[in-house]
Structure 1
Amino acid sequence: MTSEGWGTPPVEPISQHYIVCGGNALAHRLVLELVEHYEVPVVVLVADRTRDHAPQIEQLSGVAAVVEYTSVTEEALRAVSIGTARGLALVEGSDQENIHAALSAQNHNPDIRIVFRMFNQRLGENIERLLRNGAALSGSATAAPAFASAALGRPNSVEIEGRYLHIAFDDDITSDRICVVADQIDRQDLGRIRLLPEQQGDSAEFVRLAAEFGDQGPIRPGGVRPEPAPSAEPAPAADPEPSAEPTPPAGPMQAAGPVPSASPDPEGEPGGRAALQVLRIEPREPIDWMRRLRWRLLDTMRFFTSARMRLVLLTALAAVLLAFGVLWYLNRNFGWTVYIALLDLAGAAQPDQLSDVAAGTGAGTGGFWQRVAQVVITICGITFAPVATAIAVEVLGSGRRGQPRNPGAGTRDHVIVVGLGNVGTRVATQLHTMGVPVVCMERDPQARGIAAVRALGIPVVMGDGPFEQQLRRARLKHSRALVAVSGDDATNLEAALEARHGNPEVRVVVRLFEDDFASHFYKTLDNAASRSVSYLAAPAFAAALMGREVRGTLSVLRHVLLIAELTVEDGSGLIGLNRHDLEDPGGVRVIAVRFAHGGQLQWNFPDRTRRLAPGDQIVVAATRSGLARLNTVAVEEQG
């Protein structure tokens, strides 16, 4: 790997390479994907080789060159040999800058494959139509479902024609799973996990049944055979059987029984498993109208009044109620009591004349205590009148309705999202769409997501004070989860630890880039999850750069499983391959097939010998290396 100076093209001529423009975390992960799994030459264009992840990118062994330019200009594109490149990935910069760079690259090389990052997905779809061979992806949109689902304690899912596929672990695995996607899971050592372990073949189940159902009948749980029936000749001695039930095979299309929960096997290996299956979404629990009404009243008082004003009003209201009780006790006429109390509140009651009091003929007079009660009500009424006037002036004259809305009294069982960048905005929006209450926290008043979430009516806690104070304003005590997705790992970890200190039961989901950092995080905190935006998004960008359509990514703890839909086109290396050819080397499971004239997807298609023809479509669950193999090994397998 050579590192080039300012504006200088690579020392040696290069062609058929891939260009990555950017020096952020996503660019770092994407370069790793391309050089490690797809094994293609990569040239990286960075704005500053001393900042962000550019120094780490320069150290990667598979990078052909690193070129430094402040922006992706015409000169910069020529410096990275855009005319002979096979693909271009634009993963840094604004939407406008990436659009301009994509169109410029197409002018230099009409056949180049262009993948560009776009926050505005609708605009990205329109730009795709202007490009001959381009795809617009959003890293935040790719990663947001994993964060939102982790906050709710649910697995994130990928929708394929009405089916929501997700990853289930251990005891949550059901008998109708699609395939086993991981085993040897040890949450204390995530490096031991095996994604898409090698299969035992479709005949493994029959071999297991033949071992269980021998000449002497089925083996009972625990390895004990039934007692033989009395006979004249003794039965031959049976070989001892293992004490545990045989493990069901990990075949991708079998509806086997439930997978055993995590427990060490006889050799001491971790026994945790994960499987791909269809998500069962439970309906939301409704909130009764009485609680909604009470919370609405509390929110209204908080919106219109300050804490001191509420104290004065509540004291005056208590005095009025007490005086009203005195009036009713003295007169025993509820209607008259309401009438005279309202008049006193308005200052319109007729006071007793001194002559009437002396003569004892004052109409409606109940004596000394009635007079005291009426005086109290009248004084309190004097208090209520200016307060009501102040509220009316505040609302109608000052335009307070446009101010930020703090979390209301009814904010319960909500998710706190810390950081309103691209990812935080996506996560908050998705949770809101799912009907989950959300409260956002942001220290930067210029963050792009503030206006977006306020337009949805989501409360935002602003300020750069201590996290403890901000979390208290966000009603941490009543929250169900906190999602920290700022761009800084240390800030995210600080928010998570402060939240756990304030509410030991809250679930925390933290955005972390470093794998070692994440491993320590898992070991230290319970009821916690860690996700990496770049780790979730980079495989989708790499696959798109190779012309593959990734429908979504599923997290297997800190690892990633890709759900991709592949179309067999004329001249494709997939033509003539069958399920055995695709799955045998590992890393790929065919989970559904749609034939050229077949209509709907056929799930769990059992025929492993039928060969693919032009027009067929397959849906695969694959590791990053497995999906890369479909681009490089398929042609060799066909030959």
Structure 2
Amino acid sequence: MCGANTLAYRLVAELTELYEVSVVAIVPNRDRDHAPQITKILGEGSVIAVPAITEEALRAAGVVVARGIALVDGDDQSNIHTALRAQALNSGIRVALRMYNQRLGKHVERLLNDCAALSRSATAAPAFVNAALRRPNSVQVGTRSVSVEIGLGGDPADFLCTIADRIDKQDLARMRLLPDAPGPAATWISEVARNPPVAPGGAGAFAFTPAGTPVAAPPPGTRAVLRFLDGVRPHTPAWYSRLRWRIVDLRRLLSANQLSRVFLGAFAAVLASFFVVWYLNGHLAWAIYDTLLDMAGAAQPDVLGQPSQTGGAWQRAAQVVTTFCGIMFIPAITAIMLDALARGRAGLARRPSAGVRGHVVVFGLGNVGTRVATLIHRLGIPVVCIERDPTARGIAAVRGMEIPVLVGEAPLEDQLRKARVHRSRAVLALTGDDAANLEAALEARALAPDVRVVLRLFDDDFATQVYRTFTNAASRSVSYLAAPAFAAALMGREVLGTLSVYRHVVLVAEFVTEAGSDLVGKPIHEVEVPGEVRVIAVRAKGARDYAWRLDRSRCFAEGDKYVLLTTRAGLGRHTSRVAA
């Protein structure tokens, strides 16, 4: 494992604790970043400190006989170079490397023999977007998408399985993941909490599995279930909302100029002249036509001694006023257009609209912040970004999408006011500093007490305290979301996605029942482990799509593809079982 950042630390813990494999770490410095925590897990003898990863360092780490190598630190170019060196020393080694450029990563996967190129930010970004928009976090499995719904509502028969129960935001340690609870066949499960049936010979409440085996009914409270996601409503603002924003921006532009009174007077004169022309002609369309041409200087004057082409002296006076007032408007409009064009060519950031509402404020334009802003923008939702570092590469990325961004070391309160946080639907604090993210959340709440807040936090204890203190808030950890995918890729398994229940994560992973596997001929219920592993879909060899709502007595056959809903520990144990 090469690296010493947060992802490297989570990945070391994942591999050693869940997959129970030996790990050797190459870190730039033993005393910086998360190298001390990595050393505490692996021991001094399993950590090599070198400023740059060379062939000698790879040999010292045992790459020649290693099963795999994970490259999670540094930039894309250095990770590619290290991957090439590693496969030159060991042609059969499995490579999992972190790549921000996903398109380049696909090319690298084809270049190397056994390689998986993953983006940490791309893996974690959807969870932040869904938390901000209160959208179901979903994973694509075959032709269907599955999502988490917290607080079961509607018809209980349409959910696939229970992901978690005993959910208490004040004490998330009580939460049970993948409990041994009845499945969707027990359609009356929601009635149990309201009208508990009395078991024969006792006073306990029971539910029953499809086979008729009684199990204790889950206690009342909030639950998280897995169900199909049929679609998401578009969030694009209506055309009249966008028009209102432009009018407000124009008003702000005119009021900020010292000549605003002159322009307002000229506009009033043109408006009065328009009404005069309309009154004399009696035709609204012709009045608009004459007024616009007069403003552009295209008026046709009457000639002395010839019949008048206008409505008389009053209309001639109105046309004169309109033409002279138009002389001021045309240069102003031209200047505004040239300024907008010059800003685009010079790469200047666009300011947020003064009339924007229902938007999302993204604080921090690192890799994760840029991905999140891009995803939200593609949904058609207005986005306003704030970045204190003027050299952040995310500024150029969002500027290319014409997303407004506020840059500089101005007081955060002022930046949030300019971002119209009091009119926003959510604020995402996505810097790599937990303290800075908390500061942004507190400043946002001071300006808008009811705004939705999503924080990027690495420290789990810190995040727990935030959940207890904040209302209408969510927290996610990038490394915690990404580490399972990197670990599974390193072990040669495919994680289709992650589903979040507050700070807890369950994984959706795909396996194949290979020839000679211990699973061939075994029923599904023997593969499942309460609290760790549940089979949610199976696709038989040659079938076009997955089968859902499975008969738990169905036996696995050679070539079956099956999808697991599993905890991190469950994935590690199941992988070890399959490998054995």
User: TM-score higher than 0.5 here?
Assistant: yes
Shift of 1:78: 1.3
* Partner residue, 1:77: 58
CA deviation vs aligned residue, 1:321-380 (integer Å, no higher than 9, x gap): 35666x579x866679986998699698999x9xxxxxxxxx9567xxx98x99976875
Shift of 1:320: 4.0
The more displaced of 56-65 and 384-393 is 384-393
The partner residue of 1:184 within 166, 178, 190 is: 166
Would you say 1:151 and 2:139 are equivalent positions?
no
Whole-Å separation in 1 of the counterparts to 2:88 and 2:197: 74
SS in 1 for 2:507: strand
The question of whether the paired residues in 2 share the 8 Å contact of 1:324 and 1:341 is answered with no
1:350-369 matches, within 5 Å, as: none
Shift of 1:113: 1.5
* Partner residue, 1:313: 263
Shift of 1:575: 3.6
The partner residue of 1:118 within 82, 99, 106 is: 99
What's the Cα RMSD here?
A: 3.9
Describe the shift of the 1:479–1:129 C-alpha distance in structure 2 as closer, same or farther (beyond 3 A). same
Shift of 1:458: 1.9
The more displaced of 395-404 and 491-500 is 395-404
Whole-Å separation in 1 of the counterparts to 2:492 and 2:298: 80
The partner residue of 2:7 within 20, 26, 34 is: 26
Bigger radius of gyration among the two:
1
* Partner residue, 1:531: 476
Would you say 1:89 and 2:84 are equivalent positions?
no
Would you say 1:555 and 2:507 are equivalent positions?
no
* Partner residue, 1:593: 538
* Partner residue, 1:413: 358
* Partner residue, 2:234: 284
* Partner residue, 1:520: 465
The partner residue of 2:180 within 198, 221, 226 is: 198
Shift of 1:292: 3.5
The question of whether the paired residues in 1 share the 8 Å contact of 2:133 and 2:426 is answered with yes
Write the letter of the residue equivalent to 1:275. V
* Partner residue, 1:295: 245
Write the letter of the residue equivalent to 1:69. V
Describe the shift of the 1:247–1:73 C-alpha distance in structure 2 as closer, same or farther (beyond 3 A). farther
The question of whether the paired residues in 1 share the 8 Å contact of 2:387 and 2:407 is answered with yes
Shift of 1:401: 7.3
Whole-Å separation in 2 of the counterparts to 1:630 and 1:96: 34
The question of whether the paired residues in 1 share the 8 Å contact of 2:152 and 2:224 is answered with no
Shift of 1:468: 1.5
Shift of 1:146: 0.2
Would you say 1:541 and 2:465 are equivalent positions?
no
Q: Which runs of 5+ in 1 are unaligned?
A: 1-19, 213-218, 226-237, 264-270, 354-362
* Partner residue, 2:307: none
Whole-Å separation in 2 of the counterparts to 1:498 and 1:479: 14
* Partner residue, 1:632: 576
1:140-539 matches, within 5 Å, as: 140-172=121-153, 174-198=156-180, 222=195, 241=203, 246=205, 248=207, 263=220, 271-284=221-234, 287-299=237-249, 307-310=257-260, 312-322=262-272, 380=325, 383-384=328-329, 387-388=332-333, 390-391=335-336, 394=339, 402-409=347-354, 411-539=356-484
The question of whether the paired residues in 2 share the 8 Å contact of 1:42 and 1:63 is answered with no
Whole-Å separation in 1 of the counterparts to 2:167 and 2:128: 21
Shift of 1:33: 0.7
SS in 2 for 1:627: helix
CA deviation vs aligned residue, 1:206-259 (integer Å, no higher than 9, x gap): 9x99xx9xxxxxx9974699xxxxxxxxxxxx96756xxx464688x99xxxx9
Write the letter of the residue equivalent to 1:274. A
The question of whether the paired residues in 1 share the 8 Å contact of 2:143 and 2:545 is answered with no
The more displaced of 454-463 and 492-501 is 454-463
Describe the shift of the 1:332–1:182 C-alpha distance in structure 2 as closer, same or farther (beyond 3 A). same
SS in 1 for 2:145: strand
* Partner residue, 2:308: none
The alignment's TM-score, normalised by the length of structure 2, stands at 0.85
Describe the shift of the 1:80–1:332 C-alpha distance in structure 2 as closer, same or farther (beyond 3 A). same
Shift of 1:59: 1.7
* Partner residue, 1:619: 563
The question of whether the paired residues in 1 share the 8 Å contact of 2:158 and 2:227 is answered with yes
Whole-Å separation in 2 of the counterparts to 1:309 and 1:568: 76
Describe the shift of the 1:134–1:387 C-alpha distance in structure 2 as closer, same or farther (beyond 3 A). closer
Describe the shift of the 1:319–1:122 C-alpha distance in structure 2 as closer, same or farther (beyond 3 A). same
Write the letter of the residue equivalent to 1:35. T
CA deviation vs aligned residue, 1:377-434 (integer Å, no higher than 9, x gap): 6875564465356456656788767532222355321111111111111111111222
Shift of 1:608: 2.0
SS in 2 for 1:26: helix
Write the letter of the residue equivalent to 1:625. A
Whole-Å separation in 1 of the counterparts to 2:336 and 2:55: 60
Whole-Å separation in 1 of the counterparts to 2:490 and 2:347: 44
CA deviation vs aligned residue, 1:34-73 (integer Å, no higher than 9, x gap): 1111122211111011111111222226786111011221
Shift of 1:539: 0.9
Describe the shift of the 1:64–1:40 C-alpha distance in structure 2 as closer, same or farther (beyond 3 A). farther
Sequence identity percentage: 51
Shift of 1:107: 1.2
Describe the shift of the 1:441–1:201 C-alpha distance in structure 2 as closer, same or farther (beyond 3 A). closer
Aligned residue pairs total 564
Describe the shift of the 1:308–1:569 C-alpha distance in structure 2 as closer, same or farther (beyond 3 A). farther
* Partner residue, 1:14: none
